[in-house]
Structure 1
Amino acid sequence: MTSPLGVAIVGCGTISHQYLSNLTTFPDVRVVACADLDPDRAREVASRYGVPVATTPERAMAHPDVELVVNLTIPSAHAEVAMAAVGAGRHVYNEKPFTLDRESGAELTRAAEAAGVRLGSAPDTFLGAGLQTAARLVAEGAIGTPLTALTLLQTPGPEAWHHSPEFLFQRGAGPLFDMGPYYLTALVTLFGPAGRVAAMARRAREERIIGSGPRAGTRFAVEVPTHTAALLEFAAGQAATMMFTFDSPLHRAGFVEITGTEATMEVPDPNTFGGQVRLRRAGGDEWIALPTPGTTAGRGLGVLDMAQAIRAGRPHRATGELGLHVLDTMLTIAESAERAEFLKVGSTCPRPDPLPEGWDPVKGDG
């Protein structure tokens, strides 16, 4: 890095605090501006994290020191905001999902290519110590030939604790699109791209009730399935069984288990950056906990890796291509549930390169 990469945060909602608490500490990144449609919120967040400029999204994208826009808007605005940033000649890192549909994702990809700018996409949890350790172990043959995966995400839904949960039950969200990116990105990191899927989906209730905050008791409509079960076959031949539900009184999140010919691996929660990796070898009676070297710095690692890659002229890891493939896989799951048949996933992507062992977000390039 010759100088820190200038970054603008667009969208100063809840998730922005997780990003800013990290990005403002990484020496290879300089947060230049916080932007939001609500000017008071932009000023409040900028002041809290010592960011010099609080402004509108358009002005943030035009700021001469901004090279990368971190798009933390709601899912329905991801494509529009990203296209505006690309049009302003800025690199873009989108929160998940990459966009809401294949067409806008492909259009965004073409526009970025024409403009000569890069696209990145959350989640970047696969860059944390837990999933990086799991990926290295699978690549090294620690479980033999990888065969299957089982993932579970079961919760009663976020309306009990979220003060404004409506968007989580609208197009672009629900348990599949809200939480699916973490689990699918983890499996693509371990197995490579998905090949075909079969799924079923249900919606338990037509309305939900906000359970906390100033609007507690408010009813709102549920527009998307709140339970999705999927079978995936990956291009390299592995199979996965996945469940995503907001309809369970039992809270069980972060369950990812990978089975190979020689062992079964318990993988950390893909919505975290750390966690424990455990191995149970064929014929063994005990789980063995393994060291998990690497960073647990949290959200923003994908932005940092992208910034370092831009300066170094190398590929970054949390790419738009990966985000678009995960989106395409989720859309294919949803379509399979509607049509009650196996469907092929039309896109592909390379498996992300592992981070170098010992990579430190404060000290050096990966």
Structure 2
Amino acid sequence: MSIKIIPTSDPKRILISFPYDPDMVTKVKSIPGAKWDSERRAWSISTRYRSKVDELAAAGKEAGAAFNAALAKRADEIRGACPRLSIKIEYWASGCMICVSSYADLGALKEAVPSARWDSTRKCYKAEVSTMDRVDAVIEALREVEARSAALEDENRKRREAEQAKVEAAREAKERADREAGRGRISVLVRQAPAIGTVLRRGDSVVRITGHGKSFRLDENASSMGWPVGCEGELACYAYCENATVEERAALEAKEAAEADRRRIRIEREKAIATVAASDDMPTIGVEPAGEIIWSDDRNAAAGYRTWIVLTPDGWLWHLTYDGSDGATWGDRNAGYNTVGRRVPATDELIAAIRGQKRSDE
């Protein structure tokens, strides 16, 4: 190792510094009057013993060269002690500097080499060594760092796996809860979005709308992705839903049943009216038949056109059409002025259908 000689303001004393070496410290302490200057981190020695210092420096230089040669043979051993770290060895005349670049827990290294310091510029720990026993300590420390890091890495891996398993379990629980609750979302145009609380059918399920997502603008590819044709450029959103309650389902089913009844009654009425209107029985009676009007369509009455059905006391259903509209041929018809009548025998089924009543068997 090399010994650095530093002059002082006191012509009778000099300072010497060198990498920590217990043997060298013992030799320096043997010099009469030698004392440690903790402020300047160097040994203060009387110039009277300069020759002794020169001898130590020469011996140190020779020992340093031998140490570096021996250290070069152990470079791979040093680097292999902790493969996860970036380890660089810098050879000096006085020994070497082992630089460890890592943010790993280097407590073991600092315990082995108390003088190791963090270099904030180079982002590494520097451990100055000049003896083989110190090299052995560094190697053991690096192996300890490797073992600690491997254990910490395994612990972190297990913790991450446990956290991931917890997240996965929570996700699966939420998905299961969503499935059980029938939670989902429906793509809708904003202008057609059902109000919150609306109960409706979604496939085979009955759901209740619970909320709406943020609106977004549909692009030119919307219709090819299942949206209605021509909706490009419109605002759309997701309507969120969940299973309806038993009461809500029952109410919807009752509403659907009522609507189905109304639809069936309307269809049966239209068929019954068409049956009477299609009759070829058109006797000439000269006037509108007297009786009960059980159906009429006056939507175009203001234009001079109307139709109605009369149930006569003698058991006939008459379908009457009055056409006094512009362009029509006015005059007497079989059932009066501008009035055409067709009839069929009245039956309870036809009468009920035209009145819009439920069948007696329901």
Give the TM-score taking structure 1 as reference length: 0.18
Which structure has the higher relative contact order (CA within 8 Å, separation 6+)? 1
Point out the structure with max Rg over C-alpha.
2
Q: What is the TM-score with the length of structure 2 in the denominator?
A: 0.18
